[in-house]
Structure 1
Amino acid sequence: MLMLGKLTHAQRIDAQDIKAVLVAGATVEQIEDGLSVCFSFNVIGRLADAFGFAVPSPKAVKSGAKYLLSRGYR
């Protein structure tokens, strides 16, 4: 399993996971950035679950996008 997937599902990684990503060619800065993004998305997901936010249907997403784009959202 890839490092960020493992972190998301198992809630832990170890030195071997970091070494595997370094061997694959990632830099330390890229790993730190990836961990930061992973953390942020996981927190957002957990907050959404805690507050009971519903995921809109594909039709609702398309309608919302059309509305935003028609009013200059870029």
Structure 2
Amino acid sequence: MLGDEDKVRAVLEDLDTAPIPEAERVLFRFLEKVNRESERIQREDVEAVKAAGWTDEAVYDAITVCSLFNFYNRWNDAMGVREHPVEVYQRSAERLAQVGYAGPPADKKE
């Protein structure tokens, strides 16, 4: 979905009709439950995601990323952190698209 704003918008508007593979739809439904009812996650929920083709590692990563963003959002809200101007988000998006979260590798000095 990276770089496809129309697809992202479609997912946010109506997951059931969004033009995405069924495996992604299953994962997003699972993550919605992680967001809204994490205490009710059962083995069957995880098995449904795995049956859609996701690995144990992918499920772990999805839960971790979802949980971390929930933490960061709550921390920012509680600390009074407010939104940045659009330009700041655009620069950050460009950087992330080019080098990811880790950033460029450090130069090796001998």
Q: What TM-score results when the alignment is normalised by the length of structure 1?
A: 0.70
- Superposed counterparts of 1:49-68, under 5 Å: 49-58=77-86, 61-62=89-90, 65=91
Unmatched runs of 5 consecutive residues or more in structure 2: 1-27, 96-103, 105-110
TM-score normalised by L of structure 2: 0.50
The Cα offsets for residues 12-32 of structure 1, whole Å up to 9 and x where unpaired, read as 321121011011000111111
Task: Report the residue type matching 1:34 in the other structure.
Answer: A
Match of 1:27 in 2: 55
CA RMSD of aligned residues (A): 2.6
- Between the aligned partners of 1:60 and 1:6, the Cα distance in structure 2 is 31
Paired-residue identity, %: 29
Q: Which amino acid aligns with 1:23?
A: A
- Structure 1 stretches (4+) deviating beyond 2 angstroms? 56-62
Counterpart CA distance in 1 for 2:66 and 2:59 is 10
Aligned residues: 67
Of 9-18 and 31-40, the range deviating more from structure 2: 9-18
| C-alpha distance in structure 1 between counterparts of 2:70 and 2:82, whole Å | 16
Say which structure, 1 or 2, has more relative contact order (CA 8 Å, 6+ apart): 1
